[in-house]
Amino acid sequence: MDFGLTEEQRMVQDMARNFAEKEIAPYVDQDEENHYYRREILTKMGDLGLLGWSIPEEYGGNGMGWMEGVLALYEISKVHTSWRLAISGNCWGPAMTVNEYGTDEQKQKYIPGWVDGSSVGSFSITEPNTGSDVASMKTFAADKGDHWLLNGTKMWISGGHSCDVGLLYAVTEKGAGAKGISCFIVDYNNTPGITRIPILKKVGMWPAPTSELVFENAMIPKENLLGPLNKGFLICMWQLNNTRMGCATGSAALSAACLAGSVQYAQERTQFGKPIGKYQMIQQQIADMILEDEAAKLMVYHAAWLKDNKLPSQQATSAAKLMGCHAAVNGANMAMKIYGSYGYSTEYPCGRWLRDAKQFETLEGTSNMHNQIIANIELGYSPNR
């Protein structure tokens, strides 16, 4: 594993940083306050190729891989972590999964829109009574001969009320558990029987839409089954091993934002006649932040390197997500302390950092689930895919 970034990777990093500073940073406070999803940011990301990592160029991909993707997502998430979801929700989720499991027609029809940003993607797994135990989902797709009839409710779906086309996992064989789930491509704009209910009372991630999606006799074309019938659970786990890189990278970047802000504040704020950064207890707090921050970033690089080299990466991805989560939550908590009462003011970003950091303990597998994945692989109870 080579830690040195190539010239091309540095260019990607600079491009994403410039984009985030120019196109996202000016709106962060405004969009937080208004819980506003700025759709044009996705379009601009598509224009710049920021949604096309590890996607073949014939479908609009940018010809670059995981490492370049995490470098770009990191820069974006450092500025506003809500926007990390664009890469997971369009590229590493739907586009990559359709590229792996789709027919030629499905690839040609759907991937270019997710990659150029003209189509908002999503992936729907969670339900009101189904979270960690994915195999217990209830949304049912009945085979009606020439179409599927979808009934059920999905919950907490990122991008849900702005989504154009997304992936959805549903039961196709009742009572078969993980072996009775299939994956579908759902066209939200052209499918009657779908009600989207925005979840507005969220702790954080305010500019990133999250929704409840209700399906009542929604007709899904026969050809929108993705991959083999009843293999949806495996497809879902494959997809999560990719989209979790969005959480791992996003949380590591959030930790970096907390660290950078805290260092600057500690140098500028004086008490007892000295910058607070001169006091050993503040230095201890900064040092603690650096340890987790650096570990999180390197673990993301490691997982990206494994993926680029087509090596088993499930354990490394879960570990990176869990480490990133620790770094972000502890980093945001520490930043709030270092900023003192200003940290508690909404004029400073500490509140947003803390609210946004907490998401990582839950979504795409809770921390308990990731501890289990990591340990089960180590103990030989499950394969490191």
Amino acid symbol at 89: G
The Cα 122–Cα 138 span in angstroms is 19
The Cα 76–Cα 80 span in angstroms is 6
Amino acid symbol at 74: Y
Tokens of 39: 């759709």
Site for ligand FAD in 191-220 (CB under 6 A): 205, 210
Nearer to ligand FAD, 158 or 317 (CB): 158
How far the first Cα of the chain sits from its last, in Å, is 19
Task: Tell me the site size for ligand FAD, rule CB under 6 A.
Answer: 19
| Residue 77 touches ligand FAD, criterion: CB under 6 A | no
Nearer to ligand FAD, 333 or 366 (CB): 366
The Cα 81–Cα 79 span in angstroms is 7
| Residue 110 touches ligand FAD, criterion: CB under 6 A | no
Going by their DSSP bridges, the two strands 274-275 and 194-198 should be labelled as unpaired
* Orientation angle between helical segments 350-359 and 232-268, nearest 10 degrees: 160
Amino acid symbol at 163: C
Tokens of 212: 């409840």
Closest contact distance (angstroms) between CB of 379 and ligand FAD is 15
Residue 360: DSSP 8-state:
T
Closest contact distance (angstroms) between CB of 255 and ligand FAD is 18
Closest contact distance (angstroms) between CB of 228 and ligand FAD is 21
Amino acid symbol at 181: I
CA torsion sign for 169, 171, 173, 177 is: positive
Nearer to ligand FAD, 72 or 170 (CB): 170
Nearer to ligand FAD, 20 or 322 (CB): 322
Nearer to ligand FAD, 81 or 255 (CB): 81
Q: Element (H or E) spanning 157, and its range?
A: strand 147-158
* Active-site residue (options: 32, 68, 212, 364): 364
Closest contact distance (angstroms) between CB of 314 and ligand FAD is 16
Give CA separation, 156 vs 122, 123, 125, 324, 365, in Å. 11, 10, 9, 21, 13
Site string for ligand FAD, 354-383 (x = CB under 6 A): -----x--xxxxx-xx--------------
Closest contact distance (angstroms) between CB of 307 and ligand FAD is 21
Closest contact distance (angstroms) between CB of 117 and ligand FAD is 18
Cite the beta strand spans of 194-254 per DSSP E: 194-198, 210-221, 225-226
| Residue 43 touches ligand FAD, criterion: CB under 6 A | no
Residue nearest to ligand FAD (CB): 131
Nearer to ligand FAD, 19 or 360 (CB): 360
The question of whether 364 is a catalytic residue gets the answer yes
Site for ligand FAD in 120-159 (CB under 6 A): 123-126, 131-132, 156-158
Q: Residues in the site for ligand FAD, rule: CB under 6 A?
A: 123-126, 131-132, 156-158, 205, 210, 359, 362-366, 368-369
Catalytic residues, which ones? 364
